[in-house]
Amino acid sequence: MPSDSVNARIYPAGILTTLSRMEVERLHDASRGDLAALLRRCALAVLNSGNQGDDAEALLQRYHDFEIEVQQVNRGIRLELSNAPGSAFVDGRMIEGIRELLSSVIRDLVYYDTEISNNPHWGLDSSADITNAVFEILRNAAVFKPQTEPNVVVCWGGHSIQREEYDYTKEVGYQIGLRELNICTGCGPGAMKGPMKGATIAHAKQRFRGGRYVGISEPGIIAAESPNPIVNELVIMPDIEKRLEAFVRFGHGIVIFPGGAGTAEEILYLLGILLNPANDELPFPVIMTGPATAATYFEQIDAFIRLTLGEVAATKYRIIIDDPAEVARQMHTGLLQVKDKRRDLKDAYYFNWLLQIDEEFQIPFEPTHEAMAGLKIHRGLPVHDLAANLRRAFSGIVAGNVKPDTLHTIRERGEFEISGEPEIMSAMDGLLSCFVADHRMKLPGTHYQPCYRIVA
């Protein structure tokens, strides 16, 4: 047991403070059943908020005797924590922000388990059902603000970035915040934290009350990318595909900073959707940006996109180098276009219902050795199918980098093999090699062992 471990009894926050007896019973029962291990892993990640590290296995090993139990009491529920990370407490009392994040974990995991995945009225086998599930999870998390105009900027980028790049993300967030826009990220460190940090200062200067710093994660990745301390609204989606759909339906525009395989996955997912002819008339501002030192990075990303998805894909985004104010200005202008179009089409401001997302971007992909080897990656495919398969390939690499179950499988069976059209495989290998060389796969100072092998 680590010397800083703490035992505590905590009453939850948010929606969990007002529960019916039936809801309390469901929460109590779920925490002891098949959901218990998942709840424990995600709760430990949240309690580790703010600490440096991206090794989920190391965290679980360090706090191997951590336990969380949902207890039923007269006022609702109480959380019994044993051997929890001491960094989550001050003088024996849990930090309030962490208490809120912990409550969000319980809320989302149990809601999906009891109300959606095990509900016979939910099929989750059609595109409409999956989109409705994403909507229900977000609504239950109370992230929708129906009375506000489009103002949520999603920021994507790597958890392991250089200091200069991190400082740049803060400056972009600052410029976005000065325009009274809110930030949504994957909730972790690096490019997910920087924009939020910058926006907090700008919101304070503008006396902009109620600034929103929304983090959207999923159970398999949260331990490697624990929520940063600025997140004040956390949502745990059940899998990576629903997490990605939540970003594009909840957010109104996207800023992309330098990153690794996870960022490449997000870019390919987004472009695969925007290339659907059904979405041609829907404005969705996308800006890739970084400091001057990141110019080469975006040249590589741009070249890979043009090679694989064609020149038309490059019309779906802008690249702005070393100009945070221009990024914010262009995004602000883009959100005004989003507002006008949503109003004309009578679509909701808070959820992009009209965006067409095909099932190949929604059905969860399990990155087994067989599934990774079986991916078809060649330019003879329809462009959206190629984008979907490239997204799956990068998703498998992310899983092999950080998800404990996938890491265990790779140790037993060796690296994933990814094959396809030689020119694409060569470009993909070059891109991934640059990610490794630039320490974009793991935090600097930690050894990266590839989980994949490119086969032309």
Q: What is the pLDDT of residues 401-441, one digit of tens each?
A: 888 889 889 999 999 999 999 999 999 999 999 998 888 88
State the pLDDT confidence band at 24, using cuts at 50, 70 and 90.
confident
Which H or E run contains 434?
helix 422-437
Q: What is the CATH number of domain 146-456?
A: 3.40.50.450
pLDDT at 31: 67
**158 touches 263 (CB < 8 A):** yes
pLDDT average, residue stretch 297-323: 97
Residues 19-47: what's their mean pLDDT? 79
On the 0-12 / 13-18 / 19+ scale of CB atoms within 10 A, 238 is buried
In angstroms, rounded to a whole number, what is the distance separating the alpha carbons of residues 195 and 235?
A: 18
Of all residues in the chain, the percent with pLDDT exceeding 90 is: 69
Strand, helix or coil at 215?
A: strand
What pLDDT is recorded for position 354?
96
N-term to C-term CA, the chain: 47
Q: Taking a C-beta distance cutoff of 8 angstroms, is the pair 377, 389 a contact?
A: yes
Per DSSP bridges, beta strands 318-321 and 213-217 are unpaired
> Are the beta carbons of 418 and 452 closer than 8 angstroms?
yes
Q: Are 421 and 389 in contact, with CB atoms under 8 Å apart? A: no
Lookup: tokens for 433? 């090699």
The residue whose two tokens read 């892993």 is 41
What's residue 69's pLDDT? 86
Structure tokens at 187: 């909730």
Q: How confident is the model at residue 1 (pLDDT cuts 50, 70, 90)?
A: low
For residue range 156-169, what is the model confidence (pLDDT) as tens digits?
999 889 999 999 99
Residue 391 CA to residue 375 CA, distance in Å, equals 10
CATH architecture of the domain with range 6-122: 2-Layer Sandwich (3.30)
Mean per-residue pLDDT, 267-286: 96
Higher pLDDT, 219 or 248: 248
Q: What are 409-420's pLDDT values in tens digits?
A: 999 999 999 999
Average pLDDT over residues 151-160: 95
- The per-residue pLDDT for 413 is 94
The per-residue DSSP string of 346-382 comes to T--SSS-TT----GGGTSPP---HHHHHT---STTS-
Tell whether the model's pLDDT for residue 249 goes beyond 90: yes
Instruction: Determine the Cα–Cα distance for residues 300 and 304; give it in Å rounded to an integer.
Output: 6
Contact call for residues 184 and 155 (beta carbons, < 8 A):
yes
Identify any residues that bridge with 50 across adjacent strands, giving them in sequence order: none
Model pLDDT, residue 2: 64
Average pLDDT score over residue span 269-293? 96
The count of other CB atoms within 10 Å of the CB of residue 403 is 23
Using CA atoms, how far apart are residues 257 and 192, in angstroms rounded to an integer? 9
Q: How confident is the prediction for the chain on average, in pLDDT?
A: 91
Residues 348-357 have a mean pLDDT of 97
Q: Where are the alpha helices (DSSP H) in 251-294?
A: 261-274
pLDDT, residue 253, reads 98
- Per DSSP bridges, beta strands 452-455 and 6-10 are unpaired
- Once rounded to an integer, what is the mean pLDDT over residues 55-63? 78
Alpha-carbon gap, residue 152 to 90, rounded angstroms: 32
From residue 153, give the alpha-carbon distance in Å to each of 127, 142, 172, 177, 207: 25, 18, 11, 10, 19
Q: Which tens digit of pLDDT belongs to each residue from 186-223?
A: 999 999 999 999 999 999 999 999 899 999 999 988 87
Amino acid 50: pLDDT: 73
What string of DSSP letters covers 109-174? Answer: HHHIIIIIIT-TT----SHHHHHHHHHHHHHHTT---TTS-S-EEEEE--SS--HHHHHHHHHHHH
- What is the pTM (predicted TM-score) of this model? 0.93
Domain positions in the chain are 6-122, 146-456
**pLDDT given at position 290:** 98
The pLDDT score that the predictor gives to residue 75 is 67
pLDDT band at 62; cut points 50, 70, 90: confident
Percent of the chain having pLDDT more than 70?
A: 97
At residue 26, the pLDDT reads 72
More confident residue, 315 or 92: 315
Question: What region does 124 belong to: left with phi over 0, alpha with psi -120 to 50, or beta?
Answer: left
| Tokens representing residue 378 in the block | 């060649």
pLDDT tens digit sequence for 293-305:
999 999 999 999 9
